[in-house]
Amino acid sequence: MQLLTPSHFSDYELLDCGDFEKLERFGKYITIRPEPQAVWPKIYSNVDWEKQAHIRFVPKSSSSGDWKKYKQMPDQWEISYALPAGTTLRQAQGDKGAKIAFRLGLTSFKHVGIFPEQAVNWDKIYSFLHTKPQAKFLNLFAYTGGASLAAKAAGADVTHVDSIKQVVTWANENMQRSGLDNIRWMVDDALKFVKKEIRRGNLYQGIILDPPAFGHGPNGEKWKLEDNISEMMQSVLQILDPKEHLLILNAYSLGFSALVPENMLRPYAQKHKSELSIGELYLDAKSGVKLPLGVWGSLKKEK
């Protein structure tokens, strides 16, 4: 099992976490946000947290809250992420890496527009697709599009699926800020979209899905990870190109082990001779603690 954390995200830093909160730097600004996985005590003092922070999210309910400002900062700002140039061979082929940009903002549901632990997956996607410019890539539960941007920067034909129109619009803005174009935007229920792709006979060389624990489709379709993930994965594997592929499944759930994605992906790996990997994503805090942020499984096969 592999433990993965971003190693070169200069515009992001987890400073400390504990007592169900996390202290993070996004570019020039430092936030305090709820974090249900941080069940241990903080390393830094509460005084130190509030001295460093520009703003804190204060929950009003399970799904919304308000931001309390300690220092002046804008409601929206931009950060960027440098995708790695990678191996000497790829550098010789002209790969200098790429930079993708994100517009961040203070939402009423504590998010700011990025899941920084996903940077390790953006690197994987970019590295896999860079030498496959005609590859088709599908991002399900795609949020503001980090994986979509990485795939497009590598030259792939990208389809981005999310059930919330405003989030898809946000992802489109990130594409433009990154100097990219021609991502296919779909406001749709992820499972319904995949089943339509099965009927159409479409195959993808790259697929990533990062489903929430709970969610709703654009027409009120209900999603619960434990109830729906098995059907989703059985469907997704039907549109994965068996000859050449990278599939990444993330599962952010307090109750999931990395053995869950392993059990779902192993039959496909054995049938198609794919490389199966599993592990856990985490963020390494400046204070020395490690924040777990979900389990993952992947399938990889090169021609």
DSSP 100-129: EEEEEE--TTS--S--GGGHHHHHHHHHHH
Name the pLDDT band for 89 (thresholds 50, 70, 90).
very low
**Pick from 28, 240, 34, 48: nearest CA to 135:** 240
**Which pLDDT does position 134 carry in this prediction?**
86
**pLDDT at 87 > cutoff 80:** no
The arithmetic mean of pLDDT across residues 75-79, rounded, is 97
Distance of alpha carbon 257 from alpha carbon 1, whole angstroms:
11
- Please state the rounded mean pLDDT for residues 197-220: 89
Considering the chain, what percentage of its residues have pLDDT values greater than 70? 95
**The pTM is what?**
0.93
Query: Which of 267, 163, 152, 269 lies closest to 209, judged by CA?
Result: 163
Name the nearest CA neighbour of 134 among 154, 111, 161, 163.
Answer: 154
> Do 205 and 224 contact (CB within 8 A), yes or no?
no
The whole-number pLDDT of residue 88 equals 41
CA gap 121, 5 in Å, rounded:
10
pLDDT tens track for 113-136:
999 999 999 999 999 999 898 899
pLDDT at residue 91 is higher than 70 = no
Question: Is the pLDDT confidence value at 229 over 80?
Answer: yes
* DSSP label of 204: B
pLDDT band for position 184 (50/70/90)? very high
- E strands, the chain, are 2-4, 12-18, 21-26, 29-34, 55-59, 65-69, 76-83, 98-105, 136-140, 157-162, 184-187, 206-209, 214-216, 222-224, 245-251, 275-284, 290-301
- pLDDT above 90 for 56: yes
DSSP at 252: -
Give the count of beta carbons closer than 10 Å to the beta carbon of residue 254: 10
pLDDT attached to residue 63: 79
What would the pLDDT profile of 141-150 be if each residue is shown by its tens digit? Answer: 999 999 999 9
The position carrying tokens 């929206």 is 76
**Burial (CB count within 10 angstroms: exposed 0-12, middle 13-18, buried 19+), residue 41:** exposed
Average pLDDT of 41-49? 98
What span, in angstroms and rounded, lies between the C-alpha atoms of 240 and 26?
A: 35
How long, in residues, is the chain?
303
Domain ranges of the chain: 2-301
Q: Where residue 290 falls among pLDDT bands split at 50, 70, 90?
A: very high
* CB-CB contact of 297 with 265 (8 Å): yes
- Residue 228: predicted pLDDT: 87
More confident residue, 18 or 109: 18
pLDDT band at 195 (very low <50, low <70, confident <90, very high): very high
What DSSP line would sit under 269-295, residue for residue? HHHHTPEEEEEEEEEE-TTS-EEEEEE
- Rounded to a whole number of angstroms, the CA Rg of the chain reads 19
| Confidence band for 155, pLDDT divided at 50, 70 and 90 | very high
pLDDT value of position 96: 60
Residue 94 pLDDT: 52
CATH superfamily of 2-301: Vaccinia Virus protein VP39 (3.40.50.150)
CA dist list (Å): 270 to 45, 85, 266 = 50, 31, 6
Take residue 151 and report the two structure tokens written for it. 């795939």
The percent of residues in the chain predicted with pLDDT above 90, rounded, is 82
